[in-house]
Amino acid sequence: MVVGSILPVLAIATRIPLVRLDDSTVVDHGRELDLLRSIPIFSPLSPPVLEGLAARLELVRAGPGEAVVQQGEHGDRFYVIASGELEVAIDGASQGTLGPGEHFGEIALLRDVPRTATVTARTEVEVFALEREDFLAAVTGHSASAEAAEAVVGARLGISTI
Residue 89 lies in a domain: yes
Split at pLDDT 50, 70, 90, the class of 112 is very high
Residue 19 lies in a domain: no
122, 98 in Cβ contact below 8 A? no
Number of domains observed in the structure of the chain = 1
Residue 15 lies in a domain: no
Mean pLDDT of 1-28: 56
Q: Which domain, by its residues, includes 117?
A: 27-157
Mean pLDDT of 67-78: 96
Residue 4 lies in a domain: no
Cα–Cα distance, 95 to 19 (Å, whole number): 52
DSSP 8-state class, residue 73: S
Split at pLDDT 50, 70, 90, the class of 16 is low
Residue 47 lies in a domain: yes
Give the Cα-Cα-Cα angle 42, 44, 46 (nearest 5 degrees): 95
Residue 52 lies in a domain: yes
CATH number at residue 79: 2.60.120.10
**Per-residue pLDDT at 157:** 79
Which range, 13-27, 113-127, 132-146, is most confident?
113-127
Instruction: Put residue 142 in one of left, alpha, beta given phi > 0 → left and psi -120 to 50 → alpha.
Output: beta
Residue 35 lies in a domain: yes
Cα–Cα distance, 125 to 84 (Å, whole number): 4
